[in-house]
Structure 1
Amino acid sequence: MPGAILVSAWIEERFGDALRAAAPGRPLAVLRGEALDGDPAQVEAAFFSGDLYPGGARPLARALHQAPGLRWLHTFAAGVDHPFFQRLLARGVRLTTSSGAAAVPIAHTVALYLLALSRDLPGWARDQAARRWNPRDVEDLQGRRLVVLGLGPIGLEVVRLGQALRMEVTGVRRTPRGDEPCATWPLARLDELLPRAEWLVLALPLAEETHHLLDARRLALLPRGARVVNVGRGALVDEAALVAALASGHVGGAGLDVFEVEPLPQESPLWSHPRVVVTPHASGSNPGNDRRAAEIFVDNLARYVGGKPLRNEVEAPAAGA
């Protein structure tokens, strides 16, 4: 008997017909609240959809733990640095992501940071709250040098918007391919590039080699007054070093959606810093994300059944790594 496909009740209601068309003859095991409508022992593939986060994550994990035949999990998110995913990879489970589903809304939030910090929106908001008429010059983004770390779907969309704002955009990825829409440097040359980065956007996944990629030493390489935007993972940046660089004025401002500790502790000085925009890990929040992630899953399900390469497959760590 073909293995079952585990999905949430929300996904079954909205995409059940598409799932059955992509995988004819495959039964659906449906997670309804805390209970699984189906036999976990028969589950071969599963979809961790956005409607299951955060409340349904525990029942899903419990069901997957009881699924010895699980071969593949697709997740609504792009990042898979959580130990939950690493344990599945260690079990030999294939893992795919919905990378790209939230790229446009996240890039729009980056544009919000760029415009808010360059036009001093935080200062204008304080003036408005104080009923203070305070006209002053603000910064122009046109011609400014923007460096984008990471050229996945999010980074590429940030590049497009940066170019639309007439910024001078340079991308960074581990190994340039030659088909990028902007000048692109290898990650190994990051230290050479940082002194030119008036605006720096981090859109990288978190991995061992990217943990604290932007530390005190690299922050010091930025030109004085540079702005830092992070929509990747909080631990890409040494947060204490960033706070110190903001306090000294070496970093002129920051737009931050992700943090080393989340929720951001109330005592963090980032909350009240006059040149920092804080958002609660919500840069990609958009009603259309769940639909786009589900469409990627349906496409991957057809690929899985047909024995074709899967989109956005995560490479399992090498044995002994």
Structure 2
Amino acid sequence: MRLLIGFDEYPLDPFNELLPGWDIERTTPERFPELAVDADVVCPIAATVDSDLLKAGRFGLVQQFGVGLEKVDVDAATAAGVWVSRLPGDVTGNADSVAELAVLLTLALGRRLDEARQALRNRVWAQPVGRALFDGTAVIVGLGSIGLAVAKRLSGFGMRLVAVRARPELGGPPEIERVVGVDRLPEVLGRADVVISSLMFGEHNRNFFDANAFAAMKPGALFVNVARGGLVDEAALLAALESGHIGGAGLDVHVVEPADPGSPLVNHPKVIATPHVAGVTEQMMQRSVIAFTDNLKRYAAGQPLQWTVNEPSQVAQRRPQG
């Protein structure tokens, strides 16, 4: 069995240890389409799996190392008889890891960490005046596994929590005071001291946070995005920061990745930016490798897969032969 991983910096030793006898290769997203044609299983990570590759390849499983499938044409995979599976954040520890970074960014922005460190270097004492989280209101947009993990952590700081989700009738855990639908977004944004984006991204919600959304936010509100960069109109966010309407932004994800370190948004004095590391923790890696390889063993043995997002009808044509 041959596995191709679409990221050339992932260590292969854990995969080799748990998948003895497999031929495992990693590559760049750019070379991924060329090499994926002869693979039995592909793991795109940051690479694209489109209809052309699905037609050309013989692989029968697209197994993502994480939850994001925005670069995988799931409909085309289903039509081609290819399974598509992801690793849920609550299984791998990704959700907890991402939630921790969301809290870190929120605290760093509120307490003006960069300015405080500069004040120390300048021998300025007891400055700047920061903003504590207690008695504040946080709006969590997206209440999947990451949003729930964020809520659990922020509740411990004494914050009032409001959540926005596509199906508000599903409600939320006790620590969330209100759960509303997307139609109520402008209303709740206007009451938030902190807005945290934890939405699942798709073309249907590209630029979800646009100029109108930022204008609806409470003056001085903090904005944190630990979901996907495509959810944010970055030009609109930069304008809102420049005007002072948005008090600060914490961005772990960016529209173009790797992000340009010289861009006006990344370098803005009110922005704390990180290079998509929210989920990259030792715990997440260990749990993900185990879940990932377990599912590949199921596939090789012809057993039912876990965490699939589709149900192709022609899977027999793509079954591995040994």
- TM-score, normalization by structure 1: 0.77
Q: 1:223 Cα deviation (Å)?
A: 0.9
2:194 to 196, 199, 208: 199
Return closer, same or farther for 1:30/1:285 CA change in 2, 3 Å cut-off.
closer
1:310 to 302, 306, 310: 306
Q: 1:12 Cα deviation (Å)?
A: 4.2
Return closer, same or farther for 1:11/1:92 CA change in 2, 3 Å cut-off.
farther
Would you say how many aligned residue pairs link Structure 1 and Structure 2? 290
Distance 1:241 1:260 in 2: 13
- What is the identity, as a one-letter code, of the residue corresponding to 2:306? L
- Paired residues for 1:281-300 under 5 Å: 281-300=276-295
Deviation per CA, 1:191-236, whole angstroms, max 9, x where unpaired? Answer: 3322122211111122122100010011111111111000111110
Distance 2:302 2:156 in 1: 40
Deviation per CA, 1:260-304, whole angstroms, max 9, x where unpaired? Answer: 222332442223322211111222221232321122224435665
Which residue number corresponds to residue 28 of structure 1?
22
- What is the identity, as a one-letter code, of the residue corresponding to 2:82? V
Residues 4 and 26, structure 2, Cα contact 8 Å, conserved in 1: no
Residues 37 and 58, structure 2, Cα contact 8 Å, conserved in 1: yes
Distance 2:25 2:263 in 1: 38
Which residue number corresponds to residue 153 of structure 1?
145
Distance 1:6 1:260 in 2: 28
Q: 1:123 Cα deviation (Å)?
A: 1.1
251-260 or 296-305, larger mean C-alpha shift: 296-305
Residue 99 of structure 2 is aligned to residue 104 of structure 1: no
1:72 to 31, 54, 61: 61
Residues 197 and 226, structure 1, Cα contact 8 Å, conserved in 2: yes
Q: 1:147 Cα deviation (Å)?
A: 1.0
User: Helix, strand or coil: the match of 1:310?
Assistant: coil
Q: Give the gaps of 5 or more residues in structure 2.
A: 6-11, 29-35, 313-322
- Paired residues for 1:238-249 under 5 Å: 238-249=233-244
Which residue number corresponds to residue 130 of structure 2?
138
Residues 54 and 76, structure 2, Cα contact 8 Å, conserved in 1: no
Return closer, same or farther for 1:142/1:90 CA change in 2, 3 Å cut-off.
farther
Which residue number corresponds to residue 3 of structure 2?
6
Which residue number corresponds to residue 91 of structure 1?
80
1:229 to 212, 224, 234: 224
Distance 1:151 1:165 in 2: 19
Distance 1:161 1:202 in 2: 15
Which residue number corresponds to residue 18 of structure 2?
15
- What is the identity, as a one-letter code, of the residue corresponding to 1:277? I
User: Helix, strand or coil: the match of 2:190?
Assistant: helix
Deviation per CA, 1:298-321, whole angstroms, max 9, x where unpaired? Answer: 44356655754622x33589xxxx
Q: 1:254 Cα deviation (Å)?
A: 0.7
Distance 1:47 1:199 in 2: 35
Distance 1:132 1:170 in 2: 37
Residues 253 and 276, structure 2, Cα contact 8 Å, conserved in 1: yes
Distance 1:154 1:32 in 2: 28
Q: Give the gaps of 5 or more residues in structure 1.
A: 18-26, 35-39
Distance 1:262 1:291 in 2: 24
1:162 to 134, 146, 154: 154
Return closer, same or farther for 1:43/1:83 CA change in 2, 3 Å cut-off.
closer
- What is the identity, as a one-letter code, of the residue corresponding to 1:93? V
User: Helix, strand or coil: the match of 2:19?
Assistant: helix
Distance 1:111 1:41 in 2: 41
Return closer, same or farther for 1:29/1:41 CA change in 2, 3 Å cut-off.
farther
Which residue number corresponds to residue 262 of structure 1?
257
Distance 2:54 2:68 in 1: 21
CA RMSD of aligned residues (A): 3.3
Return closer, same or farther for 1:33/1:189 CA change in 2, 3 Å cut-off.
closer
User: Helix, strand or coil: the match of 1:184?
Assistant: strand
- TM-score, normalization by structure 2: 0.77
- What is the identity, as a one-letter code, of the residue corresponding to 1:130? N
Residue 125 of structure 2 is aligned to residue 114 of structure 1: no
- What is the identity, as a one-letter code, of the residue corresponding to 2:204? E
